[in-house]
Amino acid sequence: METGKRVTGAIPVSRKSWNSSPAAIPFQGRMKRQELAGLILTVHAALACSSGDGGSALPPPGCEAFSFERCNVLDEDCQRDVFGAVACLRDQDPGPLPEIRTISRADVQPLFEEMATEELAESPQDPDVTRAAELLGLVPPGGLEPAAISEAQATLVAGFFDTDSGAITLVAENARRDGAVGLLAHEFVHVLQDRRHDLSAVPPDDASTDTNLGASGLVEGEASLYSTLWEVSNLGRTPSDVAWPRLFANSTADADLFMQESESPLLDAFLSFPYTYGFRFVHATWETTGQEGIDARYADMPSTLEILHGRASMVSALPTPEPATGYELIGVDELGAQLTALFASKNRVGPSARELTSAWRADWLWIFGATDSDDTLVIWRILLDDFSAEALTEDVNDRASPTGASWMARLAPSPDLGLSAVIVVGSDPAAVSTAVSSFADSTNGQNGGPSGSSREAPPLSIGHRLGSGCLVH
């Protein structure tokens, strides 16, 4: 089977293969729900709709040429009607119908492992970057290996869109379910996004982990919005009938629980955050500025802080701190508000996740590799409000790392930036102690330490092109 662009990094479904997952649709007044093929948003939390008698389909004004009725997604007439309806909702000329393929459930895992293995060969990930994610507790040891991830996702993915081939692939077993039209509508949104914005370049290759997660929130949030609007019309309702606050309160609460209890927060953030918080963010944008406002965000990717709290993150480059002797710089990342909070939850340090996402202002995560061993060192500066910085620093110093790594923390005040928590994590306790001891602010508050280097740290992302899985019941 031809698959087009292979995935990047160690994850079998990447930003090149955008995926779908619908949310439940609560309506104002008496709850009415529609069966959505048993699709769920996360592994443990069922967020798909249950049955209900929504009535006859009601095409929105201007889209009366399309039926908005359920149909067989393997039938070309059905495909054309759903594709046209979704394009009409986005006020876009659909262009030609994309190729729609099917794959058996049994063939998903071998395909994903093959894709991941080939992509790793083409764009190998520095092992220190993977070890940094493991030291921080964001993934378990070996959790980013192609075989491990492809096996985990093999029973979960329901469909994906490939940017190189321009084709949609549906898992055949899901394509025969009643709710497959919602899945197809979601994937059609990705086709339309790609034709307007070129999803292969969303986000840029040098984007941070936070930007990758924010971009996934934008892309999947928009697809979730329009597939939900299709479902609403199918139920004979209008957007004003939907209890949007209830929908988002339920879905984000379930996503929070899923992410905070995850053994692999980095991966599971990409599996749930885009379809819940990203959906909420895109819906708010759509309500205030319409499709034009959504389109504008593809040139101005939201951070997870903006998706969560509507505030832009602080952008500032800092000189690179000097680690212990014998280490070389690999690069610098920004994990962002959401993953900072998940780090704290996973390691049971600092304030609550909700408090940390609100307190977060910016972060700089420098990764270093030992020149004569496999040791990895992470120096992570997190700009927070005073209470959160102090609580996080105190807890790190009072508790052992659950991953078995060595870690220490200190406060770093700055007249320009404010108070930061500086967390140093590594596999060599002596290197960690040396890095913490040497870290201090210069008088202008911008230096990483008294021996901070003016060299520019190359950007990297521990979540580079990390994909979102479409999950099935």
Per-residue pLDDT for 150 more than 80? no
Which pLDDT band, with edges at 50, 70 and 90, does 152 fall under? Answer: low
Per-residue pLDDT for 332 more than 60? yes
Which pLDDT band, with edges at 50, 70 and 90, does 340 fall under? Answer: very high
* Contact assessment for residue 41 and residue 47, using Cβ atoms and an 8 Å cutoff: yes
For residues 251-270, one letter each, b for 16 or more C-beta atoms within 10 angstroms of the residue's C-beta and e for the rest, the string is: bbebbbebbbebebbbbbbb
Whole-number Å distance between alpha carbons of 156 and 41: 10
Per-residue pLDDT for 48 more than 50? no
Paired strand residues for 412: 420
Which pLDDT band, with edges at 50, 70 and 90, does 392 fall under? Answer: very high
Tell the burial category of 468 from Cβ atoms under 10 Å away from its Cβ (0-12, 13-18, 19+).
Answer: buried
CA separation, residue 206 to residues 88, 126, 152, 436, 464 (Å): 34, 15, 28, 28, 9
Among the listed residues 380, 359, 467, the one whose alpha carbon sits nearest the alpha carbon of residue 21: 467
**Span 410-414, average pLDDT:** 92
Mean of the per-residue pLDDT values for the chain?
A: 83
Per-residue pLDDT for 83 more than 70? yes
Q: What is the pLDDT of residues 154-211, one digit of tens each?
A: 766 888 898 889 999 998 988 877 779 999 999 999 999 999 999 988 998 889 999 9
In three-state form (DSSP H/G/I as H, E/B as E, the rest C), the secondary structure along 313-363 is CCCCCCCECCCCCCEEEEEEECCHHHHHHHHHHHHCCCCCHHHHHHHCCEE
Query: In the chain, how many H helices and how many E strands?
Result: 15, 11
Question: Of 84-98, 141-155, 177-191, 385-399, which range is least confident?
Answer: 141-155
Question: Looking at residue 17, what is its pLDDT?
Answer: 58
Paired strand residues for 166: none
Which pLDDT band, with edges at 50, 70 and 90, does 29 fall under? Answer: very low
Among the listed residues 181, 193, 198, 189, the one whose alpha carbon sits nearest the alpha carbon of residue 67: 181
Which has more confidence, 117 or 44?
117
* Contact assessment for residue 265 and residue 53, using Cβ atoms and an 8 Å cutoff: no
C-alpha angle 384/388/393, rounded to 5°? 100
Per-residue pLDDT for 443 more than 60? no
Task: Kindly write down the DSSP assignment for every residue of 229-261, as one continuous string.
Answer: HHHHHHTT--GGGB-HHHHHHHHHHHHHHHHHT
Which pLDDT band, with edges at 50, 70 and 90, does 114 fall under? Answer: confident
Range from 15-19, 309-313, 317-321 that averages highest in pLDDT = 309-313
Per-residue pLDDT for 466 more than 80? no
Whole-number Å distance between alpha carbons of 107 and 33: 32
Which has more confidence, 164 or 131?
131
**Span 359-385, average pLDDT:** 95
**Span 340-365, average pLDDT:** 95
Cα dihedral sign, 234-236-239-242: negative
Residue the block writes with tokens 């009409």: 88
Greatest CA separation for the chain: 71
Question: Looking at residue 55, what is its pLDDT?
Answer: 60
Per-residue pLDDT for 252 more than 80? yes
Classify 26 in phi/psi space as left (phi over 0), alpha (psi -120 to 50) or beta: beta
Range from 12-21, 162-171, 290-299, 434-443 that averages highest in pLDDT = 290-299
Among the listed residues 234, 297, 308, the one whose alpha carbon sits nearest the alpha carbon of residue 269: 308
Q: What values do phi and psi take at 41, rounded to 5?
A: -85, -35
Question: Looking at residue 344, what is its pLDDT?
Answer: 96
Task: Kindly write down the DSSP assignment for every residue of 398-439, as one continuous string.
Answer: HS--TTS-EEEEEEEEETTTEEEEEEEEES-HHHHHHHHHH-
Which pLDDT band, with edges at 50, 70 and 90, does 437 fall under? Answer: confident
Task: Kindly write down the DSSP assignment for every residue of 211-233, as one continuous string.
Answer: HHHHHHHHHHHHHHHHHHHHHHH
Q: What is the pLDDT of residues 271-285, one digit of tens each?
A: 899 999 999 999 999
Which has more confidence, 330 or 43?
330
Among the listed residues 404, 407, 378, the one whose alpha carbon sits nearest the alpha carbon of residue 392: 407
**Span 18-25, average pLDDT:** 49
* Contact assessment for residue 377 and residue 323, using Cβ atoms and an 8 Å cutoff: yes
